[in-house]
Amino acid sequence: MDDTQAARDALCGATLSEKLASIGIDRGRMVEIRHLDAIGRDYGIAVYLFFEKDLATDRTLVQVEAEFCGVPEYERPYVRVDRFLSFTLENDPSFNRTLDEFPMMIEIVSLGEEPDPSSGRPVPVITGLMPFLDEFDVEEDPVRRSGQKLR
């Protein structure tokens, strides 16, 4: 068993949803993008961000991945959170400072497990919806609105 599996097993709760709820991850909840990335790393959870609401809410990750398998990674309507942050920081080294000033809050859409294509074993997955540019309110504190405490 790897460290992330042991960390997940140590969370309070019997199901994946209960365990994630114990650390503030629940459907409909708004979570700061870097916090979501840290949870993915710490607990071995694949975290995907969607840019289109209908894909995030009406289809499974497996369905979406099958449809877009031939599309280059950064042209798809979804991306893993770690890849999004890595790409963004490569292209804008000041992005972390921007996030300090204007936290990017991700709406949690689903929690579950999907089969790992290489092993067939279930992998825990969180999907989230990226905010749309017209939803950014620079006057409102999005972290306070969400009730989340940043690390």
For position 135, what pLDDT does the model report? 53
C-alpha to C-alpha distance for 46 and 90, rounded to whole angstroms: 21
Higher pLDDT, 130 or 151: 130
Query: pLDDT tens digits for 95-132?
Result: 999 999 999 999 999 999 988 878 888 899 999 999 87
For position 115, what pLDDT does the model report? 85
For position 33, what pLDDT does the model report? 96
In the chain, which residue ranges form alpha helices assigned H by DSSP?
Answer: 3-10, 16-21, 33-43, 53-58, 61-67, 81-91, 95-101, 142-146
Q: What is the pTM of this model?
A: 0.84
Tokens linked to 82: 């770690």
For position 65, what pLDDT does the model report? 92
Amino acid identity for residue 51 in this structure: F
CA angle 86, 97, 51 (to 5 degrees): 50
Reduced to 3 states (helix: H, G, I; strand: E, B; else coil), residue 105 is strand
User: Do strands 46-50 and 122-129 pair parallel, antiparallel, or not at all (unpaired)?
Assistant: parallel
C-alpha to C-alpha distance for 68 and 51, rounded to whole angstroms: 14
Query: What's the mean pLDDT in 38-63?
Result: 94
The label of the residue with tokens 């599309």 reads 71
For position 139, what pLDDT does the model report? 58
Residue 59's CB: how many other CB atoms inside 10 A?
15
Mean per-residue pLDDT over the chain, rounded: 88
Tokens linked to 135: 């939803």
The label of the residue with tokens 């991306």 reads 79
